[in-house]
A and B are shown apart, each in its own frame.
Chain A
Amino acid sequence: MKIRTHFIEGNVIVLDVEAGRSVFKSGFFGKPLGVPKPKDLEFDEPLVLDLIEARYLVEEGVIEVRRDGRSLSLEELDEEGERSYERFRDLYAVYRDLRRRGFVVTSGIKFGSDFAVYKEGPGLEHAPFIVQVKGREDRISATELVRAGRLATTVRKHFIIAIPDLESGRVDYLIFNWVRF
């Protein structure tokens, strides 16, 4: 039985609190509305998923996303995603790859990057990986690398560039570590 969620203006909401808790618990998906850092799993708010999370949970068969009395297809979710984020397909390809590798993947906006990636989950460990998604033709500058590297090393985070290939679904990774030479 898939968990029913609602599509509202680019967000996907789990209104049923019990269902929301179970989705959150299954891998730190979403955020209880208005609770920036949920201390435990016993929140009483609706759960808000972003479109990347929602698409993944639909693809995995965990939820269905309803709008106007019917379920949205993966294609429709992609279209909505592209309306909301410029690089939705690239971001999604990386998100899915990291989730399938067993990581907890959350927004990296607080670190100025696309994703923050945890082995266990936020609050359970100190240092996530910081992941930036880029295409092969995208440029990487010295300034950008040093800025990211500085952030990553001050809080002991690795800085990673993820490079998805949408044709094959394959994602390449470049992991950077500052070294004392």
Chain B
Amino acid sequence: MSGDSEQTAVTVRLRGDGFSEAQLRTATSLYERGYGEVESDRLVLSAQETLFLLEEGVVKVVDENGSAMSFGSLMDRYVKALPSFWTLYIVYRDLRKRGYLVKPGFGGELAYRVYEKGRRDVAKYVIHPLFEGRPDTTGNLLNATKLSMSKGKVFVLAVVERRGEVIYYQCTATPPVKD
């Protein structure tokens, strides 16, 4: 966390639906860096974005009553609403820390869309998390791979080990080709 960003931390307010929002005029720099969606005069941030920006010291998060929230209390709140939130956050955070622009995916199976570095028009990758200790079925994985390929995306499985390390595998649903 840098002193500079703390001085200029943007205040975002939690909403009842798990999202948070900031006045757009105070948050244009966030939007320019690929965070949030604009709704009229506000910038609306997802739970992952809110927590990550709080961790980075870029925003100050206040609850519905205007009280400032710590990283721990905000995390607790999100995990209460969605038990798998922690592991989903690990993947989000890992990708952001690697410098990728990350957006919500196409629903539960396809958690995130990720853009090639330097691009923000069309996402290249779809990220599907697989957590150690929580196996998926082969059929689910096949369907998710086919779905993202049908949308023209590269399907990437993010394997999250027990202590939070993330390993990425590209996965394609095509027969091997003898060239």
Contact = CB atoms under 8 A, between A and B. Distances in A.
Interface of A: 97-98, 101-103, 117, 119, 129, 134-146, 149, 158, 160-161, 163, 171-181
24 contacts: A97-B175, A101-B176, A119-B179, A129-B176, A135-B138, A137-B139, A138-B138, A139-B138, A140-B135, A142-B133, A142-B135, A142-B159, A145-B159, A173-B175, A174-B138, A174-B171, A174-B173, A175-B171, A175-B174, A176-B157, A176-B171, A179-B170, A180-B168, A181-B95
Given A142-B133, A163-B142, A101 B160 contact: no
Nearest to A120: B178
Nearest to A134: B138
A109 B130 CA distance: 26
Nearest to A97: B175
Contact of A174 (B131, B133, B142): B142
B172 A174 contact: yes
A175 B175 CA distance: 8
Interface in B128-179: 130-139, 141-142, 145, 156-157, 159-161, 167-179
Contact of A142 (B95, B131, B142): B131
Interface in B64-108: 95, 98, 100
Contacts, number: 104
Nearest to A180: B168
| Residue among B138, B160, B179 having the largest count of chain A Cβ atoms under 10 Å | B138
Interface of B: 95, 98, 100, 130-139, 141-142, 145, 156-157, 159-161, 167-179
Nearest to A129: B176
Given A103-B178, A175-B172, 20 more contacts: A101-B177, A101-B178, A119-B179, A137-B138, A139-B136, A139-B138, A140-B138, A141-B130, A143-B132, A145-B157, A145-B159, A146-B161, A161-B138, A174-B145, A174-B171, A174-B173, A175-B173, A175-B174, A178-B167, A178-B168
B138 A136 contact: yes
The list of the 6 closest CB pairs from A to B, nearest first, reads A136-B139, A141-B135, A139-B135, A142-B132, A181-B168, A102-B178
A101 B175 contact: yes
| Residue among B95, B171, B174 having the largest count of chain A Cβ atoms under 10 Å | B171
